[in-house]
Amino acid sequence: MRLNPELGRNLRLAKESEKALVSKLRVVPLFSGLRDKQLRRIAAGGRQRAYKEGQAIVSEGEAGVGFYLIMDGAVEVRRAGKVLAKLGAGNFFGEMSLLDRNPRSSDVVAVSPTTCLVLTSWQFQGIVEDNSGIALNLLKTLVHRLREANKSLVD
């Protein structure tokens, strides 16, 4: 049976964009130590979403259904009119609600045109369960954020 040329072209383009995404994921600190097979699974499972400057990605108090890895751009984490952190490419957010099942702890707003790779809560959970290295990398980032928060309390 002959493959429809349009379908063949689309499949090739999809493969190429998955390859490009895997190359980007390879240098993300959260995924350091993962094999290409695991990165390919993440790339195939996630959805890339684009946000405009000023657009709210996550809002304080809502239920958490996604994990966000910033591929491009920048976001601010805000609460009660204060900026808690600014995060850029390679950083992530949205893990807190997925880990403890509490509502979103703060707003996250794009401060420039931003693209995120979004994973559902069950994809995120599966990836963490399958790769103990990711759990350790997550902990390292959470420790860093706690240190920064403690510092800002006494500064």
Q: How far apart are CA 81 and CA 88, in angstroms?
A: 20
Site string for ligand CMP, 102-141 (x = CB under 6 A): --xxx-x---------------------------------
How many residues touch ligand CMP under the rule CB under 6 A: the total is 16
Piece of the chain touching ligand CMP by CB under 6 A; list 8-16, 19-27, 94-102, 112-120:
94-102
Piece of the chain touching ligand CMP by CB under 6 A; list 31-39, 46-54, 101-109, 111-119:
101-109
**Contact criterion met (CB below 8 Å) for 72 and 110:** no
Counting every residue written for the chain, the total comes to 155
Q: Please identify which residue in 57, 84, 111, 134 interacts with ligand CMP, judged by CB under 6 A.
A: 84
Residues in CB range of 53: below 8 A, 6 or more apart? 110, 111, 112, 113, 114
* Tokens representing residue 19 in the block: 């390859």
**Contact criterion met (CB below 8 Å) for 27 and 90:** yes
Binding site for ligand CMP (CB under 6 A): 58, 64, 77, 84-85, 93-97, 104-106, 108, 145, 149
